[in-house]
Structure formats: C-alpha cells, structure tokens
Copies of this chain bind each other. A is one copy, B any other.
Amino acid sequence: MRIEIINTGSELLLGTTVNTHGAWMGTELMKHGLRVQRQTTVPDGPAIIEALSEAMSRSDVVIVTGGIGPTSDDISREAAAVVLGVELIEDEAALRSLEAFFAQRNRPMAEDNRKQALNPVGADVLPNPHGTAPGVYAPPRMSGDRLCALFLLPGPPGEMKPMFHAEVLPRLCALADVSGEHHLETLRFTGIGESDFHAQLDAKLLAIPQLEIGYCARPAEVDLRLIGPRASIEQATLLALDAFPEECFSTKGESLEEVVVRKLTAQGKKLALAESCTGGRIASRITDVSGASAVFTHGYVTYANEAKRDMLGVPEELLSTHGAVSEQVAIAMAQGALNHSGADIALSVTGIAGPTGGTEEKPVGTVWLGLATRGTCFAIQKLHTHGREFFKQATSQNALDMIRRELIKESGCPG
C-alpha cells in the first residue's frame, strides 16, 4: 500500500515550526507494518490543490494534516472537493457537534466556524472531540488510473493524534489487510562510531535475507534500523549484540534515559546528579521518563564555582589548583552529590559548552564526567566540539551511559 502524507502550514516552510507530524505518523504507521512513501509540505492556501492532485494520482492513500480550521487560508476541504470532483455540502451532524463544542464552553460560535461543517459529497465526517475541526475520510475511488483514499486531519497535534488513532488507523488496517510480515526494530548504541559499525557489521547484515538496514548517527549515539521479517531482525540483533555487547543500550528503541530509569528501578537504587555545563539537561532527560521520581531524588545544577562549593562541598583549593574543569573537581562533585543526597550512585559533569570560555589547554568542548558510588569513584574526559546544543546532548548521553555501565557492572546483566 503506497501511503503519502501532505502537511500544510506556512510555518513549516518558513522554519518557525519543525514538522514533527511526519515522523510521528511514520512511527505509528510502521507499528502496523505500513510505510510512508513520500511526505510533502506545502504552504497554507491554494498550493495544496496541486500537491493533493499529484499525490492522489500515484498513491493508494493520502493523509493531509492542517488547513481545516475556520480561517481564510484553511482550504483543505475545498481542495479535496476540487480534486475529488464533487461538491461540498453542509453536514447536519457536524454542524450540531460544532455548536455543542461551543455551547459546552459557553462561547458563541463565530460564523467562520460554520464552514468547518462542510464535507465533500460521499465522504465521512470524522469526529474531533478535542477541537472544532472535524476530519474527512473519502473512501477509495478512482484517481487517474488507480484507487485512492483520502483523509483530512486537523493540524494541532492534540487534535490530530487522537483522530489518527481512532479514525485513521482502523480504516487503514482494514484497507491494507495488514499481513504483519514486515516489522521495524531500532537498535541503539553509544560509545562507537558509525564507521566502526560499518567496518564490523555492514557486510554481515547485508547478507541476511529480506532485511533492510539503515543507520542514523546522533550526538554520541548510532541507531541501527532493521526492517524485515521477525526472523531476519532477530538474526541481525544477535550479530549486533555479539559485536557490541556493551555499546548496545537498547534492542527495542528505548532512549538511554528510559534504560537508566528502568535499571535503577529494577535494582532499587537512587541516583543523584551534579551538573555544571549541562545545566540540568541530564536531570531533565531523566525526569522525562514517567516513574523517575522513584529513583531520582537530588539534582544539583552548580553552574558557578560558589555553587560547587556551597551545594556539593567541593574544596576551594581543588577549584583554584586544578580549575573547575578537571578530573579532581569532577570526582569531588560526584562524591559531594553522593554524600549530600544519600543516593547510591552519583554522576557529575563539568566542562566548557562554549562558544566562549575555552583556553589552549582546555578548549571549548572539553568535559569531565565523574561517577561515585559507595564503593568506587572515577572520572573520564570527553571532547565535543560541534556547538553548544551538540555538546549538551552528547555530554548528557555520555553521562547516562556511565550510569548505565555502572548498573550493568553491578548486576552483571547487559540487557
């Protein structure tokens, strides 16, 4: 089944908003073995007509997001009617539902909203419990020389996503008669480069039948994407784990923070964090995971030297002798965090995120990471020179991986 997505919205092309709908929908579809073949972004207004017409002539399903609101540049309904070659008529039920939406909120319904009850003849109205814009589903009909079905969905994620789950996926699965033969799995690695991966594994993976592989390099991470029958994916997973047993932190697409929270929970351990240059990024990533409150108690964001002294008890002498960005201070921060918090494992980072603050001896991008437990204490050094955002993300990745490796070591369990 050939599926295309069209996202409308000038803000996506102007760059003021990053298009996350495409990725989200691709993920949801792939869970059901369905793949997106093309994604197109067009500005608000009439450009949708040409794009929709092209897409419908070459695809089995086209999903449009945006352009079904009340304002004048919302013309996806009109475009659909033009391309389908039918009229728009006011749908009684949709109008009543719109009126109810406003009545429930004690707000008068503007005349502009009335046009949201218009629907192409022969198409279904898709209810929108989270907003004013009902969706549209036009069942498969001839478009050029092929049958094509069309969905129109709202642009705001809070309205689009529930409608996608409730109205789009069941219809697509019925249309596709999904055989479930192909699956997607993402294996995630840290501590190795894409080229190490290529050199050691690429040829072996390519020899596995019916397997499609792809790589994606992220800050301090390489993802390996496997698409194919379950057996081929399992074969590839075993090869990858055999080559990089410690570096593979998830065979199920989990993030490093999810893995760390899961392992801490399983081991009943508490974590403390002492962050200088990452400024709370590691704590924020940990607390992105639901359930983090059971394992993460104390976070110290000690940007200034006084804060390292006051909050963590780092001796003034260490700071003046070795500088804040040093092995000694990283270790003292981790030990301070461990002792002040009563946690079982403490991690510290101190470095120079840039763009200013570097020296010849300690260039921008230099970072020390320290780890302390009741039994051990050490620090490692890294250098990340691709800008402030990369620095914070890669360093937080290194930090989470140090915690993960410590937890593996203690439990003897890599998974």
Contact = CB atoms under 8 A, between A and B. Distances in A.
Contact of A23 (B19, B25, B279): B19
A288 B392 contact: yes
> Which residue, A39, A158, A355, has most C-beta atoms of chain B within 10 A?
A39
**Contact-size category for A:** 35 or more
Given A30-B14, A214-B11, A279-B283, A307 B341 contact: yes
A16 B223 contact: yes
B15 A22 contact: yes
B15 A39 contact: no
Interface string A46-63: 010001001000000000
Given A158-B386, A290-B355, A292-B279, A37 B13 contact: yes
A304 B298 contact: yes
Given A18-B23, A303-B296, A40 B43 contact: no
Nearest to A385: B158
Contact of A297 (B43, B278, B304): B304
Contacts of A273: 280, 301
Contact of A13 (B16, B36, B54, B278): B36
B35 A14 contact: yes
A87 interface: no
A364 to B, nearest CB: 11
Contacts of A297: 303-304, 306-307
Contact of A280 (B217, B253, B284, B303): B284
Contacts of A19: 18-19, 22-23
A26 B306 CA distance: 42
A27 interface: yes
A26 B47 contact: no
A153 interface: no
Contact of A16 (B216, B296, B388): B216
Contacts of A54: 54
A43 B47 contact: no
Contacts of A22: 12-13, 15, 18-19, 41
Given A37-B43, A38-B42, A299-B300, 6 more contacts: A18-B23, A19-B23, A37-B47, A275-B283, A287-B303, A298-B306
10 contacts: A11-B225, A13-B26, A15-B22, A40-B40, A280-B282, A298-B303, A299-B299, A299-B302, A299-B307, A300-B311
